[in-house]
Amino acid sequence: MATSRVREHLTERGWSGEILEFTESSATVELAAEKVGTEPARIAKTLGFYDPEAPERAVLVVAAGDAKVNGGMFKRSFGGKPRMLSRDDVPGLTGYPVGGVCPFANPEGTRVFLDESLRRFDTVYPAAGTAASAVEVAVAALTELACAEGWVEVTNGWRGEDAG
């Protein structure tokens, strides 16, 4: 099961928390926030895009639940327009089903980045590999836990800006 792969990945990196598993879907920001009992902004959504440098691989951007990707900001960070992964390509390029994509234990070559919208929180809740799971992680530990390449600023709307 995908949550066991995520648990193993996190444990190998020193994490000792609990993976929350639900009987019903937590695949949207709103559903996940309701299930974990937090505000939607603290749900760390993992957005999958085709890598502009190599379209056969994925770029995953982990962003706050209230943030919206800005095409211009994405292009400045990654050198091309954001193209979301097709539903059919999600499992093969991320290792997870739609709704369960997370920044942990992804296939080799998958690039993971963290969006600045997360830095305003101490902890956030990304999915844990299924459409009915979540895990609370400290933002300060997220780079290491997600094996992220770094931080980017590719979203707006979370500071009250126009999401344009």
What does the block give as tokens for 160? 């009250």
Domains of the chain: 2-156 (3.90.960.10)
108-153 confidence digits (pLDDT tens)? 999 999 999 999 999 999 999 999 999 999 999 999 999 999 999 9
Instruction: pLDDT tens for the chain, 164 residues: list them.
Output: 689 999 999 999 999 999 999 999 999 999 999 999 999 999 999 999 999 999 899 999 999 999 999 999 999 999 999 999 999 999 999 999 999 999 999 999 999 999 999 999 999 999 999 999 999 999 999 999 999 999 999 999 777 665 44
Contact between 68 and 157 under an 8 Å Cβ cutoff? The reply is: yes
Q: What is the residue-wise DSSP string for 17-46? A: --EEE-SS---SHHHHHHHHTS-GGGEEEE
